[in-house]
Amino acid sequence: MSQPPEVSRGPVVTPMRVVIAVCLVAPFIAMLWVGSYAKTDPAFIGIPFFYWYQMAWVLISTALTMIAFKLWQRDQRARSAAKGGASE
């Protein structure tokens, strides 16, 4: 006896996934908007703004990526539990 094919649903946009997307897109927008940081003042411990702003975004990007990953894991566990499957 054959089973009916599983209906594949398209991508689902949820508030959690919007937050994940914002976390992942924010560093790109910040770095591509060069006019906002193409200056030397204010200097921080003798380092011009242009450089320390970019280095700060390395740390911020790391934190945002970790947050996005944890939220993605939570979202996948919730979707798996909603389907009645076991979580990983």
| In the chain, where the domains are located | 35-81
* Cis status of the peptide bond prior to 42, with omega within 30 of 0: yes
Place of tokens 């994940």: 20
Q: pLDDT value at position 5? A: 62
Confidence of residue 88 (pLDDT cuts 50, 70, 90): low
**Residues in the chain, how many?**
88
**What is the DSSP-derived secondary structure letter of residue 77?**
H
Average pLDDT over residues 15-44: 91
Place of tokens 């927008």: 29
**What is the DSSP-derived secondary structure letter of residue 45?**
T
Average pLDDT over residues 31-41: 87
What pLDDT digit, counting tens, does each position of 41-86 carry? 898 899 898 999 999 999 999 999 999 999 999 998 888 888 776 5
Q: pLDDT value at position 83? A: 77
Q: pLDDT value at position 59? A: 96
Choice between 79 and 11, residue whose per-residue pLDDT is larger: 79
